[in-house]
Amino acid sequence: MSLKQRCHVPSVDLTLDYGRMGADDAFFARLEPLLAKAYPAMAALEKGAIANPDENRRVGHYWLRAPKLAPDGLGAAIEKSVADIKRFAAENRARFPEVLVVGIGGSALGPQLVADALGDPRHIHFLDNTDPDGVARVLGSLDLAKTLTIVISKSGGTPETRNGMLLAKAAGVDFAKRGVAVTMPGSSLDKEAQGWLARFPMFDWIGGRTSELSVVGLLPAAMQGVDVDALLAGAAACDEATRRPVTAENPAALMALMWHHAASKTMVVLPYKDRLLLFSRYLQQLIMESLGKDGHGLAVYGNKGSTDQHAYVQQLRDGTNDFFATFIRVLEDGGAPLEVEPGVTAGDYLHGFLLGTRAALAEKGRASMMITVRRVDARTMGALIALFERAVGYYASLIGVNAYHQPGVEAGKKAAAKILELQKKLLAGGKPAPEEVEHAELILEHLAANKRGTP
């Protein structure tokens, strides 16, 4: 069955093998009508339809790698942003051997993925939380005089990013000489960054989890010498293949169908390549923030092969059957071709572990699919990002959710704001309301641990 249930995309040398997911002809016959509705919905999205009604916004991440598709003259702005990024990187890479990115969510996860896969992670650093201890550890390891600091926030008001920026400034970052802002024109960060080394505009129609191929991800990548043109070209080629309304030839549509077939099971991402270690973290936001709504969702976790075999594969094979696996197979080994035993290299072992784990799971009736790529390079990374972005869009259409807003995230932010208002009240000598007593006790415990207290 697996030999028949394969989809190959020659333009990016990517193959999806979904033969071990257990979908039969009856399943395809039942779901194809739903998918037939998803194709025109995706076409309307690419033409500029309102996709985020909560904020009355279009969603245009597909235009980033195909500017000619962008409506209303936006293509020229996209092309200018890429040209500006490449020019800035060419002029400043030698000056700044270290890069510090201050951002959270999509402003960190995408750049972290690409840095680990394609760049040199020893020379790019991230402040992606509001943990003062974590911030101090990162800043303490840097020569700030040789570091370019990139602050990324669409609104400029994201608390974690703002706090990271303030702590970096207090530690000695000279933003006028070595600071770059990536934000919406007119935002609080845009105003703060007047006089910084550079400012790059973010597009309102790009959400955080689909921003890696915008200035958000391309600027840090270019500063590391990553081929941003190849990233965009790989994504464009994958987009071209995955917008085709021929399901058997569309790997993103097939992935969406397999996710639907797996029902509420968890997806375990198993890339057999160290460079793809962070792929599961990146996919957690892309998939779970997009699809986790209205009682639906697809949980994602993962590590890397063959490390996973010494951790949780035991449960995958012999524990609860509540998941499906997505293996990522990379054909070219890279590294040293040394034979560790006659006729066998370290890469042969890695490939053997992948195929062996896949077979061991199949023996116990565990579902899996496998994505095969030639190598991990910029073109491949662009294609993988685009593949999963499109699959998320198709799957959202199948289950009837809006993939492009995040009401749960906003609810958490509002709740946190209330906590901080309560803390201010307590510090001013006020008393908590009855429903605030539990939170008040926890706030006071935290303040006391840090030798801060109420008057």
Q: Tens place of pLDDT for every residue, the chain, 455 residues?
A: 344 799 999 999 999 999 999 999 999 999 999 999 999 999 999 999 988 777 788 999 999 999 999 999 999 999 999 999 999 999 999 999 999 999 999 999 999 999 999 999 999 999 999 999 999 999 999 999 999 999 999 989 899 999 999 999 999 999 999 999 999 999 999 999 999 999 999 999 999 999 999 999 999 999 999 999 999 999 999 999 999 999 999 999 999 999 999 988 999 999 999 999 999 999 999 999 999 999 999 999 999 999 988 899 999 999 999 999 999 999 999 999 999 999 999 999 999 999 999 999 999 999 999 999 999 999 999 999 999 999 999 999 999 999 998 887 778 888 899 999 999 999 999 999 999 999 999 999 999 999 997 55
Reply yes or no on whether 413 is catalytic.
yes
Tell me which of 68, 310, 424, 451 is the catalytic residue: 310
Tell me which of 47, 80, 364, 413 is the catalytic residue: 413
Question: DSSP assignment, residue 118?
Answer: H
Distance CA 455, CA 200 (A): 44
Please, are residues 333 and 275 in contact by the beta-carbon 8 Å criterion? no
Cis previous bond, 107, omega within 30: no
Three-state SS for 311?
Answer: coil
Task: Give the position of tokens 């951790």.
Answer: 311
Residue 337: CB atoms within 10 Å: 9
- Give the count of alpha carbons within 13 A of 333, CB side only: 14
Residue 413: CB atoms within 10 Å: 12
Distance CA 138, CA 71 (A): 41
Three-state SS for 207?
Answer: coil
Q: Label residue 165 exposed, middle or buried (CB < 10 Å: 0-12, 13-18, 19+).
A: buried
Reply yes or no on whether 191 is catalytic.
no
Task: Give the position of tokens 């790019």.
Answer: 124
Tell me the Ramachandran region of residue 186: left when phi exceeds 0, alpha when psi lies from -120 to 50, beta otherwise: left
- Supply the pTM of this predicted model: 0.95
Which H, E and C letters describe 88-115, residue by residue? HHHHHCCCCCEEEEECCCHHHHHHHHHH
Quote the distance between the C-alpha of residue 396 and its chain's center: 17
Angle between helix 228-242 and helix 251-261 axes, rounded to 10 deg: 70
Distance CA 377, CA 221 (A): 13
| Spatial CA neighbour of 373 closest among 409, 411, 334 | 334
Distance CA 285, CA 38 (A): 22
Tell me which of 46, 98, 212, 289 is the catalytic residue: 289
pLDDT value of residue 454: 53
E strands of 362-419, at which residues?
A: 367-373
Reply yes or no on whether 439 is catalytic.
no
- Residue-wise pLDDT tens digits, 183-216: 999 999 999 999 999 999 999 999 999 999 999 9
Quote the distance between the C-alpha of residue 361 and its chain's center: 27
